[in-house]
Amino acid sequence: MNITIISHNYFPEDSGIGLYTTGMAEFLAKKHEVSIITGVPYYPQWKIYSNYSDSPLFVNEIINGVNVYRFKQYTPQQPTFLSRIFQMIHFFFGSLFNCFKIKKTDAVIVVMPFTISIVLGWILKVLKGGILWVHIQDFEFDAALSVKIYAKSKFYSKILFKIEKRILQKADFVSTISKSMLHKLAQKMIVSQLYFPNWIDYSKIDPKSAVKSELFNSTTFNVLYSGNIGEKQDWEFYIKLVKSMQCIPEIHFYLIGEGAKRMSVREALKDCSNFCYYPPVSYDQLNNVLCNADVHVLFQKPEFKDVVLPSKILGMMASAKPSIVTGHEDSEIKVNFINSEGGCYFDENNLETIKENIVYLKNQTVVAQIMGFKARKFVIEHFSHENILSKFQTELECRVSEKII
């Protein structure tokens, strides 16, 4: 079977959508002919990687059995709503040229965001045949409207969602990464849907193979946030929490990552002796970082419920360390933490509650160990990469077979 994937993010990006798109492509390539139309790597630093900065506009590579067709897209150093739109449009027109390099395809898989890439998939389907499968990692229009005050007018929203609906209707099948996002999709349109969650390679995130990380102070209780430092997290609350706990020197906060909010968070906490920032680590070092923390934290803005499902949750849980997470009261993440008993989930960012729980986990080491054990057990049982990718491949093969028949 010939499969073409269209995704803005791909290897060597080793976090977020790039990580999961690469995993999907390389898994499928063990059995099928797989090509990917993508951009040059830039995430999460929002800067084109040095080994691609001098590359030509179009680059063709073969990486781990996957044919990679890249376009050197515009990449804003400071992403804004408008600069992201320009990035989408630039990627679209450059990748349109790459579509004509595909000789044959039985299935086109488009990874969202970007919504406009579905049009690329539809063009490729018209030219070469096969089915069009859209996989939603992010509802980008919903996310944009959640953070842009000026974009919240009903008129503006109506236009965006009409465009989204019209484009999504070009797909034969649509999958997304959470059941709550499937529910949101059903509200938008009637379409054949599939639950295709992100996964964890628990052999790569495993406390048994982790070694001591030089980033952490071995004499303190270390509270970690590792991931994108963006609009979807409540950084005002994080800043208040760190400042309020300076009186407990044995508890230290670590922020590891990159994103639009990085500079403002670092500036606000520059004088705090209980805080350290580090840039993102490579994926082969992530195990050492996650497994050497004492507790993970993630403070979400509740308005992003059903819009995104943070993939970092799986790594946090696989590390066998407890997590403290906040978000919407009806969040699917809340259900996972209740079922797993692998951490604490709260419906609001209450300063005293979070402080009390951090101190509690510091003092109750046995309780923390049990929580961590249960968290890892849960993700291995429900989100292992072998099971999820095997089921997806089988479903894809069945859909293609039905189309051919």
Contact criterion met (CB below 8 Å) for 105 and 37: no
pLDDT at 149 over 80: no
Query: Residues 119-130: pLDDT tens digits?
Result: 999 999 999 989
Query: Residues 256-294: pLDDT tens digits?
Result: 998 889 999 999 999 999 999 999 998 889 999 999 999
Task: Say what the pLDDT of residue 139 is.
Answer: 74
- Dihedral angle over CA of 270, 276, 278, 284, nearest 10: -170
Domain ranges of the chain: 2-199+384-404, 221-382
Query: Residues 66-106: pLDDT tens digits?
Result: 999 999 999 998 877 788 889 999 999 999 999 999 999 99
Strands (E), 76-192: 107-112, 131-136, 173-176
Contact criterion met (CB below 8 Å) for 383 and 312: no
Q: What CATH number does domain 221-382 carry, 3.40.47.10, 3.40.640.10, 3.30.300.20, 3.40.50.2000? A: 3.40.50.2000
Confidence tier at 155 by pLDDT (50, 70, 90): low
Q: Mean pLDDT of all residues in the chain?
A: 89
Tell me the CA distances in angstroms from 65 to 9, 22, 376, one per residue in order.
18, 11, 31
DSSP per-residue string spanning 309-342: --THHHHHHHTT--EEEE--TT-HHHHHHHHHT-
Distance CA 25, CA 32 (A): 10
Judged by DSSP in three states, 141 sits in: helix
Query: Same fold for the domain at 2-199+384-404 and the one at 221-382?
Result: yes
pLDDT at 31 over 80: yes
Percentage above 70 pLDDT, the chain: 91
CATH superfamily of 2-199+384-404: Glycogen Phosphorylase B; (3.40.50.2000)
Span 3-25, average pLDDT: 94
